[in-house]
Structure 1
């Protein structure tokens, strides 16, 4: 909501300056988003009248003008050279006199006017356009002023350029503030300054013509008022004062009739519509739309209607979208002679959301879906009628009587408020007298008995429904600045994490230390990602997606990470290592409603990551090679330390079979890691880096947060013994199975078993058969109580080899 300060002060002029007024509105709940001057600073520019305009002798596009500038042309008319195409005798325009300063240019410096010569002809000043004064974007010619503008008057004074524009950021419950009068009414209540109540003297009908109106849907329209006006001059020019006020409200001038309708909407918050009466067939019918009907709107769009959209129709078809926008078929134009003025009350529930169905919004719909005062339809038609007569009237203009149908208006249900409860919620003592004064200033009818107020909301306050609404009114009128600084009474007890659990920020820092960068993505994703990368054929759908592709909720982070990689590659990123901590959404019949849960939906937190490009940043000390499965596996081991994850071969819809592993902690699968599947790499157009595909991982965040506490173990006084073994095993024997067999020593002497070499010859050799390989393993043996003897060492090693032979078929290499 944007409006000029001067218009507001015509209704209510409190003893406050501009900044104090803005602060008052903000602290009352009507946030002032911006206050800016109508025009930038300049001086020395006055109203001047062009007396003569002759062709320049040396330039086709220049004219030599003589102008009267009042007191600034004591020695006779001033000679000005001007190149504007509309420079002509008789018009009044802004003149920058010698010594004047125009608004600063792009360099930030003001432009000073002096005596100059253009093609040999002296010019003692400069005639200005609106753009040169920076009060409008029009630069097609000089700014033409009203014929009654006094010559020699400062242009800032004549055009009220010292005014300020207020931009309010109103919440949906403040529909009564969507007009200049509505804001003035609030200012009067907040400051006690007098409010100028508008008068709407009825216009006497000079015709008995009426247009029949049939309201078939009382749940769409609660009141419908209208009037016929005959013999209007639609080619009349909108007065400059109205054009300026509309422009300062952010509304461009269209035509006199449209401007009048818009002016009253900004003035009193009353959207209205003016029909071309001669284009209406027989009558108007207010009803719900019907399946298959279409309507061409004033904005040129043709929309399909259904039974959920309100319309105004005539005997032949639909004419306008009820409460939102008029139709093209009955629009007024230069040929219009007779009009029908309509002002109605549309139920907010019948208008809300309708314009968004068709991807546009209007000022009328914005107001009606928040609630417009149903009591002022007739008075505002009188106001519109008088403006039409003043601006578009002719001797033949005649208006008919106002017709007013009231079908059902909102019930103003009384709301009670306890003074003691108000004091408790506000946090400061408030008296009965204070509350009564607040309600009186706000125009709320009330009564009081035993410290309990019964308030009947006025017709323009749709937001007063419960006790807390009245308490809010008391608080904001008394003033939020009046609230004392009071410490909270309730004990504030922070939730302390267990020592064996770290926070999500610690996980972020750990991943950042591993050279990953965090990315934040939407929780709603493309359905294709869910189907292909998560194997989810039935994802949870979004009822009202912000974009058509983002139609489902994600059940995996991998789709978001792959898209982040694609975005980076499209911008020629040479190396991408990203991670995300976010929530996923999966159907789960066992999930119940709770403070942080929704029935039927499981919403766990996950941590996922992706690595593509060099394993290390480009450097001289190491050969560049792509990050592979084992690089990311090492990152995961570092992330999960001191927990010891186990990686076992697995399958995942997004990952390469045979190059994918599940991640187990304490025997439970907590995530997956692996290369992106080749078919998805091709489908999503992701190149390999030196033949290496992107590597992804995804884990349950709860598992990553676990961090077992360290347990003290005394250093052994005994020396460890190391023995190296070369064991021959089949190629299908896993590393983990072999290590487990070697370390399962019942005597506890085998403390560690580490693989340090693999030998698989290209051709058969003695001691190795086809399909076998030799694994070199180092055993570390130690007894904390006594020194190991050679006999015990040999026996322990022989027992370890025997266990490996029994478990995986291993044998010592000859």
Structure 2
């Protein structure tokens, strides 16, 4: 918001320079973006009056004038002398008060005024337009001053141009400062000064004309006021003082009625609107738009209103009322005030922030009114706004005012809020003790109703927050206000006191970073994909599974939550392959979202780690044979993760059937009957549908099942020799080697310290349907050298158990 410093000082005038004032406002949380002069640098421009005006003898578009400067005198102008000036402006006329740049004056851009001859006629100065003295970017003619402008006065002093415009970038929670009234209140509080507000008196109605008002949407519009003003002068002009105040706040003057409503918006922070009374049919009805209802806006663009848009409509004939304006956003062209309007209906209403929030953006609009209503305006200000506007309008355009008609719903008007502030919490949050009296003064000056209470050993302030402070809801909001007004710079810098405390670290816990580093060391790259994925691709990977659908997705391709990381990772592989990256190895950690009615909020969120590989086993190298990655490559990566638990043998890999994975190249991983995850190759048909090039292998593991390791137990190192015995065991082809190893480990006893499958053979000498497993057993004792008999007993026990349990036999 832009505002004039001089206008602000009419309300409250602290003993601060412009820069100091801007700095103070910024430090109070209302950031100042810029401080700019309201006019260009110029000297020697004086208020004058055109006392003679006639055509130039040799130029049709020029006029020869004589200008009176009153008692003004200078080195080039004697007191009482009439100055001859040639002017080309169309609006130059007899009796006009003008801004005169005399000979020797310096205009913006270091432009010096000199005596000149125009078509043979001498000119001793220039009649200035607004643009020529830096009041506007362009102008149609010379500047017209008020009839009571004193002759001979410096224009800079007369218009108070030694002023600056301060541009404040307000945060969304400070809608109360979007007007001079709120800003002055803040400056007054910061400087402990009283604020001088303009006296607003109610205008007694002089006519009985009124319009009935009905509100169909009480929650969106709890209060609506209206007043009829008849017989205004359509030829009246906005006074220069108001034009200047509007200009310095970044608002262009349009016509007196619109200018007054804009003036109220800037002065009180309250948007208003005026309708042409002759264009209204029946009464006023505040309602939501009808389906496909159309409205032509003031900018002449026609919009199709959405059903959730609040509109101001008339009741029409036989109840067929039309929309007149988008409530709190933009007026309509057909009901707008024009240069021919003589009767108007003035509106002053409170629309709730939620009713306006986001509505303007739906139509590609952003107006001063919507900017304020979205943030919240004072719900008690409507009477002041309409009375102040009435007073200004009658003074400028004349006319007669009718009574103020009000429709409201008290239950829906925001009420004051009670919030408690505790001394202990205040000191704790700020880290500094502010005296009780100062805290009470700060809160009171902010417009809060404050009462003090003692609650045992703690002091408590009971604060009644006015309804216009929508941002004050809880105790910490009051603490922020106290610290802000006290001044952040006034809070001493105190180093925080902290004590070191050794926290317990569970030795058995494995950090996720350790898992990530393991995969990075195995040539993986970490990826981060969206939690919401394309439902079409996810349905291919998880056919028939229930999914969590987003009510307001970013796009249709990101409308469901992921059931696994496969969707995002596989799309990343496609993205990389399309950019000539043939070898891809990615992993990701995060949450997956599985619908589950028994879980909290109906969804089970599980932390997972997943990976995908595609392309060659290694990067191309002259010493390494080129080969595509296969199932055992990714299985080895998974086993590397499981080995971090120092209990990898407790995890079982078993063949699994999953629709999206290749049959025969897929394994599920379990531990004590609990599913840990899957590893396998993507189904060839899905590779084609997703757009992958070549074989792609993936894995996914539950983090909760692999983040605890088995704590190593220290034992004595044996000083005695170890003994190795090799067994060649023949078993049926469908018997898992791991089951054989588990049986051997189970019956091997304490002497068995190592077990290794070092060969698998099928072929000549082995019956069809069978396979030979070559297994090495290492036996050792910590107290003695094992005798042959003890070793033989262990081997015999192993062989007998394998024969009994698995019908295995030793290979001949």
On whether the aligned pair clears a TM of 0.5, the verdict is yes
Deviation at 1:648, TM superposition (A): 1.8
Deviation at 1:795, TM superposition (A): 6.3
**Are residue 373 (structure 1) and residue 372 (structure 2) matched?**
no
Distance verdict in 2 for CA 1:588–1:88, change over 3 Å: same
Range 503-512 or range 345-354, more displaced:
345-354
Deviation at 1:671, TM superposition (A): 1.7
Separation (CA, whole Å) in 2 of partners of 1:650 and 1:332: 77
User: Which residue does 2:592 correspond to in 1?
Assistant: 584
Contact 2:748/2:794 (8 A) holds in 1: no
RMSD: 5.2
Deviation at 1:434, TM superposition (A): 1.9
3-state DSSP of counterpart to 1:374: coil
User: Which residue does 1:719 correspond to in 2?
Assistant: 721
Distance verdict in 2 for CA 1:425–1:726, change over 3 Å: closer
Range 255-264 or range 748-757, more displaced:
255-264
User: Which residue does 1:147 correspond to in 2?
Assistant: 143
Contact 1:206/1:398 (8 A) holds in 2: no
Deviation at 1:372, TM superposition (A): 1.6
TM-score normalised by structure 2 residue count:
0.72
1:355-387 Cα distance to aligned partner (Å, 9 max, x none):
678787655345335432133324333555677
1:713-738 Cα distance to aligned partner (Å, 9 max, x none):
33333333445555554443323223
User: Which residue does 1:401 correspond to in 2?
Assistant: 402
Contact 1:38/1:135 (8 A) holds in 2: no
Distance verdict in 2 for CA 1:38–1:516, change over 3 Å: farther
Separation (CA, whole Å) in 2 of partners of 1:159 and 1:575: 70
1:163-218 Cα distance to aligned partner (Å, 9 max, x none):
553322243xx331233431232122112245342345777978765433233454
Separation (CA, whole Å) in 2 of partners of 1:722 and 1:699: 36
- Following superposition of structure 1 onto structure 2, how do residues 637-716 of structure 1 map, counting pairs within 5 Å? 637-640=639-642, 641=644, 642-644=646-648, 645-685=651-691, 687-688=692-693, 691-693=694-696, 695-716=697-718
- Following superposition of structure 1 onto structure 2, how do residues 380-395 of structure 1 map, counting pairs within 5 Å? 380-384=385-389
Contact 1:11/1:196 (8 A) holds in 2: yes
Deviation at 1:22, TM superposition (A): 5.5
- Following superposition of structure 1 onto structure 2, how do residues 96-135 of structure 1 map, counting pairs within 5 Å? none
Range 653-662 or range 158-167, more displaced:
158-167
Count of matched residue pairs = 720
3-state DSSP of counterpart to 2:380: helix
1:653-698 Cα distance to aligned partner (Å, 9 max, x none):
543333222223455322222223334333332x22xx321x2222
User: Which residue does 2:416 correspond to in 1?
Assistant: 412
User: Which residue does 2:351 correspond to in 1?
Assistant: 346
Separation (CA, whole Å) in 1 of partners of 2:347 and 2:368: 16
3-state DSSP of counterpart to 1:304: coil
3-state DSSP of counterpart to 2:510: coil
Distance verdict in 2 for CA 1:182–1:549, change over 3 Å: farther
Distance verdict in 2 for CA 1:164–1:717, change over 3 Å: same
**Are residue 294 (structure 1) and residue 293 (structure 2) matched?**
yes
**Are residue 433 (structure 1) and residue 437 (structure 2) matched?**
yes
Separation (CA, whole Å) in 2 of partners of 1:165 and 1:45: 26
Separation (CA, whole Å) in 2 of partners of 1:6 and 1:494: 60
Deviation at 1:519, TM superposition (A): 3.0
Distance verdict in 2 for CA 1:421–1:578, change over 3 Å: closer
Separation (CA, whole Å) in 2 of partners of 1:723 and 1:452: 83
**Are residue 317 (structure 1) and residue 322 (structure 2) matched?**
yes
User: Which residue does 1:83 correspond to in 2?
Assistant: none
Any unmatched runs of 5+ in structure 2?
46-74, 77-87, 93-98, 110-129, 146-151
Contact 2:534/2:557 (8 A) holds in 1: yes
User: Which residue does 2:170 correspond to in 1?
Assistant: 168
1:605 to 604, 607, 614: 607
Distance verdict in 2 for CA 1:782–1:447, change over 3 Å: closer
Distance verdict in 2 for CA 1:531–1:439, change over 3 Å: same
User: Which residue does 2:739 correspond to in 1?
Assistant: 737
Any unmatched runs of 5+ in structure 1?
48-73, 76-86, 103-129, 592-597
User: Which residue does 1:768 correspond to in 2?
Assistant: 766
Separation (CA, whole Å) in 1 of partners of 2:682 and 2:243: 63
1:774-813 Cα distance to aligned partner (Å, 9 max, x none):
4444443444444456666666556545544544454455
3-state DSSP of counterpart to 2:224: strand
1:66-118 Cα distance to aligned partner (Å, 9 max, x none):
xxxxxxxx99xxxxxxxxxxx999999x9xx9x9999xxxxxxxxxxxxxxxx
Separation (CA, whole Å) in 2 of partners of 1:404 and 1:562: 66
Deviation at 1:620, TM superposition (A): 4.1
Distance verdict in 2 for CA 1:750–1:176, change over 3 Å: same
Separation (CA, whole Å) in 1 of partners of 2:142 and 2:192: 37
User: Which residue does 1:227 correspond to in 2?
Assistant: 227
Distance verdict in 2 for CA 1:483–1:255, change over 3 Å: same
Distance verdict in 2 for CA 1:2–1:684, change over 3 Å: farther
Separation (CA, whole Å) in 2 of partners of 1:241 and 1:728: 107
1:780 to 754, 774, 778: 778
Separation (CA, whole Å) in 2 of partners of 1:599 and 1:253: 56
Separation (CA, whole Å) in 2 of partners of 1:20 and 1:38: 14
Separation (CA, whole Å) in 2 of partners of 1:495 and 1:269: 54
Distance verdict in 2 for CA 1:727–1:502, change over 3 Å: closer
Separation (CA, whole Å) in 2 of partners of 1:234 and 1:727: 111
3-state DSSP of counterpart to 1:699: strand
Separation (CA, whole Å) in 2 of partners of 1:568 and 1:813: 50
**Are residue 177 (structure 1) and residue 177 (structure 2) matched?**
yes
Distance verdict in 2 for CA 1:445–1:712, change over 3 Å: closer
Distance verdict in 2 for CA 1:26–1:521, change over 3 Å: farther
3-state DSSP of counterpart to 1:214: strand
Contact 2:314/2:322 (8 A) holds in 1: yes
Separation (CA, whole Å) in 1 of partners of 2:477 and 2:349: 27
User: Which residue does 2:486 correspond to in 1?
Assistant: 478
Deviation at 1:259, TM superposition (A): 6.7
Range 674-683 or range 184-193, more displaced:
674-683
1:735-786 Cα distance to aligned partner (Å, 9 max, x none):
32233344443445544343344445xxxx6423444444444443444444
3-state DSSP of counterpart to 2:372: helix
Separation (CA, whole Å) in 1 of partners of 2:19 and 2:619: 54
Contact 1:530/1:537 (8 A) holds in 2: no
Contact 1:581/1:607 (8 A) holds in 2: yes
Distance verdict in 2 for CA 1:237–1:704, change over 3 Å: farther
Deviation at 1:405, TM superposition (A): 0.6
Deviation at 1:589, TM superposition (A): 4.8
Separation (CA, whole Å) in 2 of partners of 1:245 and 1:494: 64
Distance verdict in 2 for CA 1:529–1:14, change over 3 Å: farther
Contact 1:220/1:288 (8 A) holds in 2: no
Contact 1:606/1:698 (8 A) holds in 2: yes
Max Rg structure: 2
1:248-291 Cα distance to aligned partner (Å, 9 max, x none):
8788899886676455434432122333444332221124556x
Separation (CA, whole Å) in 1 of partners of 2:716 and 2:577: 52
1:502 to 491, 501, 510: 510
Contact 2:108/2:134 (8 A) holds in 1: no
Contact 1:200/1:382 (8 A) holds in 2: yes
Deviation at 1:344, TM superposition (A): 0.5
Contact 2:165/2:248 (8 A) holds in 1: no
Separation (CA, whole Å) in 1 of partners of 2:807 and 2:4: 91
